[in-house]
Structure 1
Amino acid sequence: MQEDLQLFAVIVEQSSMNKASALLNLSQPALSRKIAKLEEELGAPLFRRVGRRLELTRIGELTYDYAVQLRQMHRQYLLTLAEFKQTHRFTLTIGASLTTLQTTLPDLIQALTAGHPQIDIKAVTGKTHEIVSLVRDKKIELGLVASVIDDPQLHCVKLFDDHLELVLPRGRMLSDKLAIEDLNGLPMILFSKGTWFRTLTDELFDKFRLHPDVRMEIDSFEAILRLLHTCGAATLLPRSYIRPQMAEDNDLLIVPLPELKKTRRTTSLIHGDPALLEPVVRQWIAEASAGYAARSGLPLSARGGLPGQA
């Protein structure tokens, strides 16, 4: 039908069966038979004869608009196909939980696009179970979550273990040498509820029976950092988010507490069948896993990796 629709469009644009026949290098009887077949398939006439002229019926007008749209879509497809063949450009959609979106995803995207600028990255955010569902349903290619996912339909590539760190505004607290008990009653700005990060925080407070003075709950690490001096408050941040330059720029202190190192959570990349991923993406995942493993001092086999890769 699509071929006949394009023949019909040429007749409309030439305003003549004879002219269209000559342009298409097709005899007029053959062209007439194709239009009659198209009308039969559609179950309605496309033309009405007014004297010696052919005029479009209302269905003919709708069909012509549709035929033009199909032609434009086909041309765009051919252009996109040609570009893809030339540059091998493609889109990769990555889903990230809210905390990994702010801590880990920017570094991973930078590493990927630095070596492969032809990849267009799209990112979506959601809770961990939502990201897992999107990957499982093949609506996105990769998921970045602060968890180890045990799902027979998915491959889980462990990247690194994260833990909480106590962050204080320099010069605004009475002391930068604190014990875990000193968090009791301490003015704090915490991350909003509903994430693994806040769950770890609340579990820590419950374990040590701590009741800090919670001044605010915010879902942005950057906003929390900016408010620490203003509110004279401390906070707990994932170790993966903290950079030396960040602490210096915001005039902050990172106070080590042994108990916080036990608040561990593994950040992982999840995906479906590796064969459905582009080769450069599979290579990037393996390199990311190996890179995090090297920094942690653990062998790759202990950190996870793409199936079949050492």
Structure 2
Amino acid sequence: MTLEQLRIFLAVAERQHMTRAAEALNLTQPAVSAAIAALEDRHGLPLFHRIGRHIELTPAGGLLMTEAQAILRRVAEAERALGELRELRRGHLTLAASQTVGNYWLPPIMSAFRRQFPAITLDLVIGNTEQVAVAVKNGAAELGIVEGLVTEAQFEQLALPGDSLLLVAGTQHPWTRLQQGRSYRDVVTSEALRNVDWVSREQGSGTRQVMETVLADLGLDPAKLRLTLELPSNEAVRLAVEANAGLTVMSDLAAEVGIAQGRLVAWPLPEAERAFRLLRHRDYHRSKAAAAFMDLIAERRAGAAAS
């Protein structure tokens, strides 16, 4: 039983007439008669009573008419839904982002996307870089944006404008007071930083990766850092540093509030510019919504480069 056979059958059933059905479908009458005969032969049941030149539905025909109407209605709904997806008049896009990206960088872009495509539902899952990569790998998110390094070959990656990393301490921390009047070149050294307490993100976060790399470049062994706290979010790290629990390396996006309110002091770091990365699985079909979101990011990326 094919959809075309069901359409022909329904046209005949609704008109109770082979010729009129053929005219409505732009088919020949023999083609319509052949389709009805094929349905009857396939199921071994008559669908119409032939009374002279008049036809009427049999009980089997009445049952099939009800089912055919429901099936073809669902087919029409499916075709309409696919058209809406194609034209971005409906749809759903799940994003995954590491914490710095998801909490500070991505929300304005999501807001702009929603203004442009209000019928597309956006979901955002926030985790560390490793968790975002797993979500994209498993298909739980179609696009991921991270600040950490991801090396798996199954990802397409697009570099994006990112942030800058700062050495951050609480305003009232004893170490901070010792640095008053010193230039950042004197503060950001292995000697000045060797015997201080540190607050850090958890293993697997992009910020943790970069913090360890920056400190290693300054001559400090990450394995020998005196970690007082290891916390699962940027906000928790910021609040702990504001409470003078130790120093940290943090995105300027995450530190901005504490600096503006006078609770944090920050020093720039060498080679501290950091690109974010957009991840997409190479083997998964890219939805229209994902393509539109990537186009919007590309536009912003081009605008940032031009300014």
Query: Does TM, scored on the shorter chain, surpass 0.5?
Result: yes
Q: Any conservation in 2 of the 1:93–1:122 contact (CA below 8 Å)?
A: yes
CA distance in 2, matches of 1:44, 1:169: 85
- Any idea what SS the aligned residue of 2:16 has? helix
What is the letter of the counterpart of residue 234 of structure 2? Answer: F
Q: What's 2:276 paired with?
A: 267
How many Å apart are 1:289 and its aligned residue?
1.9
Match of 2:208 among 173, 178, 198: 198
Q: Any conservation in 2 of the 1:147–1:267 contact (CA below 8 Å)?
A: yes
What is the letter of the counterpart of residue 77 of structure 2? Answer: R
Q: What's 2:54 paired with?
A: none
Matches within 5 A, 1:1-310: 1-6=2-7, 21=16, 25-26=20-21, 34-38=35-39, 54-55=59-60, 68-75=70-77, 77-78=79-80, 81=83, 89=89, 91=91, 93=93, 95-99=95-99, 100-114=101-115, 116-118=116-118, 120=120, 121-123=122-124, 127=130, 130=134, 140=142, 143-146=144-147, 157-160=158-161, 162-175=163-176, 177=179, 179-180=188-189, 181-184=191-194, 186-206=196-216, 207-209=219-221, 210-218=224-232, 220-229=233-242, 232-243=245-256, 245=257, 247-248=259-260, 252-257=263-268, 260-269=269-278, 284-294=296-306
Distance 1:38 1:124, change over 3 A: farther
Distance 1:226 1:68, change over 3 A: farther
How many Å apart are 1:200 and its aligned residue?
1.8
Gaps of 5+ in 1: 12-16, 296-310
What is the letter of the counterpart of residue 39 of structure 2? Answer: L
CA distance in 2, matches of 1:153, 1:213: 35
CA distance in 2, matches of 1:173, 1:66: 80
How many Å apart are 1:37 and its aligned residue?
1.9
Distance 1:119 1:79, change over 3 A: closer
In the alignment of these two chains, the number of paired residues is: 269
Q: Any conservation in 1 of the 2:169–2:176 contact (CA below 8 Å)?
A: no
- Any idea what SS the aligned residue of 1:256 has? strand
Deviations 1:26-61 (A, max 9, x none): 3899877534423556x6759799xx962589xx78
What is the letter of the counterpart of residue 227 of structure 2? Answer: D
How many Å apart are 1:288 and its aligned residue?
1.6
Q: Any conservation in 1 of the 2:8–2:21 contact (CA below 8 Å)?
A: no
Distance 1:29 1:23, change over 3 A: closer
What's the % identity of the aligned pairs?
A: 18
CA distance in 2, matches of 1:124, 1:186: 34
Distance 1:124 1:69, change over 3 A: farther
Deviations 1:59-82 (A, max 9, x none): x78x96586255134135437747
Q: What's 1:298 paired with?
A: none
Q: What's 1:303 paired with?
A: none
CA distance in 2, matches of 1:248, 1:122: 30
CA distance in 2, matches of 1:223, 1:78: 47
Distance 1:146 1:82, change over 3 A: closer
- Any idea what SS the aligned residue of 1:26 has? helix
Deviations 1:58-112 (A, max 9, x none): xx78x96586255134135437747976xx6465847444243334222333344
What is the letter of the counterpart of residue 164 of structure 1? Answer: L
CA distance in 2, matches of 1:214, 1:24: 87
Deviations 1:258-301 (A, max 9, x none): xx3335532244678xxx97997676344322333356xxxxxx
CA distance in 1, matches of 2:8, 2:89: 33
CA distance in 2, matches of 1:44, 1:183: 88
Q: Any conservation in 2 of the 1:155–1:270 contact (CA below 8 Å)?
A: yes
- Any idea what SS the aligned residue of 1:222 has? helix
CA distance in 1, matches of 2:249, 2:238: 10
How many Å apart are 1:167 and its aligned residue?
2.8
How many Å apart are 1:196 and its aligned residue?
2.9
How many Å apart are 1:146 and its aligned residue?
3.2
CA distance in 1, matches of 2:48, 2:18: 22
Distance 1:157 1:124, change over 3 A: same
- Any idea what SS the aligned residue of 2:264 has? strand
- Any idea what SS the aligned residue of 1:165 has? strand
Q: Any conservation in 1 of the 2:84–2:90 contact (CA below 8 Å)?
A: no
- How much is the aligned-residue C-alpha RMSD, in angstroms? 5.1
What is the letter of the counterpart of residue 21 of structure 2? Answer: L
Distance 1:186 1:10, change over 3 A: farther
